[in-house]
């Protein structure tokens, strides 16, 4: 489509117009449809009448959403007029850059362009230690940390589109990687929590805050402080004795905001520690949790408290917790989740159910800022762009009081170049037949069936009688077709296809090995070892290659070594299993001890019944019962 802008625009918008041409599928040309662009307060609006177009907007980010809307409608309609009313002041994304996968600068720019088309105006890169502190050479060492110039380049790029990049760090817990070095002992409470009260701690935090914010325009900063479960119970307890942890939390927060004030910054923190400390069970979502009035009165009011919740499908739960957050005395921020952290496959069903419930209530309760988190727990085996449906969902809630599902699909096509239904169908790689709708129990069998040991078979009891090979073979065919129909995202669907191809053999091979062994069917065992394990090896190698290509197109290389080791371990264990089975079949060894033991149910949490495929998201729990952490 050819378009031309009829009036003079600021250089920022001219640069953005050129950068978005390929993204939105238009070309700037003097022969194109003429568009008059008007910046004024109020709704964003686009129209076309008698061959002349208009775009009206208030904030810079609204211009790029409006531009996409104009192109979208002008492709199909000779005349139209569309208005949208922003529902939130800020709608953003938070991308995990701390669990192996650190988005490359090109990856960040690609995400920024996509967010601009959607109309999302804030981006946080969650960096525990993956940013450079010049005076601390071990901080983020060999972890893919961002340099000052890289962060500034990303911030400059985001600013073109009116997207605010906000530093997002940790100043209490979640610092295991930063604290793994001996020189950190003086300011370490436990393995991942800083030592409250230590002047060395606050010198470090000062340097962290200065380094993280220096490349960015924004004066806002997320200083973390979530999930510090053992706060005050390590070196602090040894040195000072026990103190109420509510007091420690407020004391530490006050010290840190003295530092943010020094740099004229506006801080926010995750809110969960206050609720956990007020709960008898330490649960964030304990509705009986009580934060005492004297603690609330002592909580700094210049801090925003971020309510993160990726779990609930009941709107009334969100309403209750939002109102509890309002009692803290500052405007709360809500953070939901794209459910990108289950493994290679995102849980789109749960992401959509929880998001609909949460964002509808946020509108009703007047929450002005919402964030979609895109975590990468336990190695970040998935890809950030697999979460695009969740981001688009946030965008469509952000520009309409009442959500429109059909509009969501069309907008996704415009903003990403992908087919929403095809993206969402990936969820069925985990949401197997018999799984409750939308997988609210978070089952992720594609991950643990990929990594589990062939002979130990920790999850084998749960796959008996399911005919998973045929199911995954059909899913592989579907994903292959989706790769062809979504060429921009072929690397994403190719990994899904190769994963399903592996699972079409591996998902129940342990069950069949056990059956063959129990029945003394040496011929069948020989066939499995000679034919199926040979083919499985080839398919795992293909998945590994596809996964590596996807990673290299999105992330820095640091962290990939962890995924390489997982694939290497899998291939080695397949080789060992083949050798042991053939040794048994030939009579070289008298038994396969791994198959002598009856398989038990995986007793890994409340989602595991004998006939259920539940949730397991720790690699070391999938591969053996003899490991601690790998």
Note the pLDDT of residue 609: 83
Phi-psi category of 380—alpha, beta or left, where left has phi over 0 and alpha has psi -120 to 50? left
For the chain, the distance separating the N- and C-terminal CA atoms, rounded to the nearest angstrom, is 52
Task: Given CATH 3.40.50.1470, say whether it is the number of domain 444-623.
Answer: no
Question: Region 172-199: what's the mean pLDDT?
Answer: 97
User: Where are the CATH 1.20.120.670 domain residues in the chain?
Assistant: 444-623
Residue 611 reports pLDDT greater than 90 = no
Closest CA to 413 of 424, 426, 403: 424
Contacts of residue 540, defined as CB under 8 A and 6 or more positions apart, other chains included, come to 502, 567, 570, 571, 574
Query: Pairing state of beta strands 193-194 and 188-190?
Result: antiparallel
Strands 333-337 and 369-374, bridge-based pairing:
parallel
Q: Which CATH class is domain 2-84?
A: alpha beta
Ranges in the chain annotated CATH 3.20.20.80? 90-425
How many Cα neighbours within 13 Å face the side chain of 273? 26
pTM recorded for the entire structure: 0.97
**Under CATH, which number does the domain 90-425 receive?**
3.20.20.80
Average pLDDT over residues 289-293: 93
The 10s digit of each residue's pLDDT in 25-70 is 999 999 999 999 999 999 999 999 999 999 999 999 999 999 999 9
* 476-528 pLDDT tens trace: 999 999 999 999 999 999 999 999 999 999 999 999 999 999 999 999 999 99
pLDDT grade for 628, boundaries at 50, 70 and 90: low
Tens-place pLDDT, residues 232-279: 999 999 999 999 999 999 999 999 999 999 999 999 999 999 999 999
- The pLDDT confidence band at residue 627, using thresholds 50, 70 and 90, is confident
């Amino acid at each position: 489509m050819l378009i031309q802008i009829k009036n003079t625009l600021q250089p920022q918008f001219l640069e953005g117009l050129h950068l978005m041409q390929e993204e939105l599928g238009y070309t700037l040309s003097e022969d194109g449809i003429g568009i008059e662009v008007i910046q004024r307060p109020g709704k964003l609006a686009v129209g076309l009448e008698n061959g002349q177009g208009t775009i009206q907007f208030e904030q810079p980010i609204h211009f790029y959403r409006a531009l996409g809307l104009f192109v979208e409608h002008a492709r199909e309609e000779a005349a139209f007029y569309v208005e949208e009313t922003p529902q939130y002041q800020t709608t953003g994304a938070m991308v995990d850059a701390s669990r192996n996968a650190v988005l490359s600068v090109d990856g960040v720019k690609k995400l920024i362009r996509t967010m601009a088309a959607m109309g999302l105006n804030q981006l946080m890169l969650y960096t525990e230690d993956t940013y450079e502190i010049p005076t601390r050479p071990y901080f983020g060492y060999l972890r893919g940390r961002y340099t000052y110039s890289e962060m500034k380049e990303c911030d400059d790029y985001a600013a073109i589109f009116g997207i605010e990049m906000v530093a997002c760090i940790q100043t209490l817990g979640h610092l295991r990687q930063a604290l793994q070095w001996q020189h950190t002992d003086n300011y370490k409470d436990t393995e991942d929590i800083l030592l409250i009260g230590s002047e060395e701690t606050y010198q470090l935090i000062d340097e962290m805050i200065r380094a993280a914010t220096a490349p960015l325009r924004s004066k806002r900063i997320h200083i973390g402080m979530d999930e510090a479960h053992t706060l005050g119970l390590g070196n602090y307890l040894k040195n000072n004795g026990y103190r109420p942890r509510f007091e420690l939390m407020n004391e530490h927060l006050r010290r840190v905001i003295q530092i943010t004030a020094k740099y004229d910054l506006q801080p926010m923190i995750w809110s969960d520690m206050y609720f956990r400390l007020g709960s008898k069970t330490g649960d964030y979502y304990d509705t009986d949790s009580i934060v005492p009035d004297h603690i609330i009165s002592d909580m700094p009011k210049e801090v925003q408290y971020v309510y993160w919740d990726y779990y609930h499908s009941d709107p009334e739960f969100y309403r209750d917790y939002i109102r509890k957050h309002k009692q803290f005395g500052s405007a709360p921020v809500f953070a939901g989740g794209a459910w990108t952290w289950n493994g290679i496959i995102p849980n789109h069903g749960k992401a959509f159910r929880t998001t609909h419930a949460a964002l509808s209530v946020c509108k009703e309760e007047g929450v002005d800022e919402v964030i979609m988190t895109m975590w990468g727990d336990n190695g970040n085996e998935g890809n950030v762009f697999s979460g695009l449906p969740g981001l688009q969902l946030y965008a469509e809630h952000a520009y309409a009081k009442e959500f429109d599902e059909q509009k969501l699909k069309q907008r996704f096509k415009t903003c990403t170049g992908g087919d929403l239904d095809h993206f969402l169908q990936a969820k069925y790689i985990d949401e197997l037949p018999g799984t409750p709708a939308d997988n609210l129990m978070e089952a992720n069998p594609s991950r643990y069936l990929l990594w589990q040991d062939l002979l130990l078979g920790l999850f084998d009891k749960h796959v008996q009688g399911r005919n998973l090979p045929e199911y995954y073979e059909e899913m592989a065919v579907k994903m292959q077709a989706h790769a062809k129909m979504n060429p921009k995202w072929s690397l994403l669907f190719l990994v899904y296809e190769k994963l399903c191809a592996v699972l079409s053999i591996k998902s129940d091979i342990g069950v069949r090995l056990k059956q063959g062994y129990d029945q003394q069917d040496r011929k069948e065992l020989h066939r499995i070892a000679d034919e199926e394990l040979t083919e499985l090896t080839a398919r795992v190698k293909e998945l590994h290659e596809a996964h590596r290509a996807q990673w290299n197109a999105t992330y820095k290389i640091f962290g990939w070594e962890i995924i390489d080791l997982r694939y290497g371990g899998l291939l080695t264990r397949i080789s060992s299993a083949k050798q042991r089975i053939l040794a048994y079949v030939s009579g070289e060894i008298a038994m396969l001890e791994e198959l002598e033991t009856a398989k038990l149910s995986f007793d890994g949490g409340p989602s595991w019944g004998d006939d259920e495929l539940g949730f397991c998201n720790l690699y070391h729990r999938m591969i053996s019962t003899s490991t601690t952490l790998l």
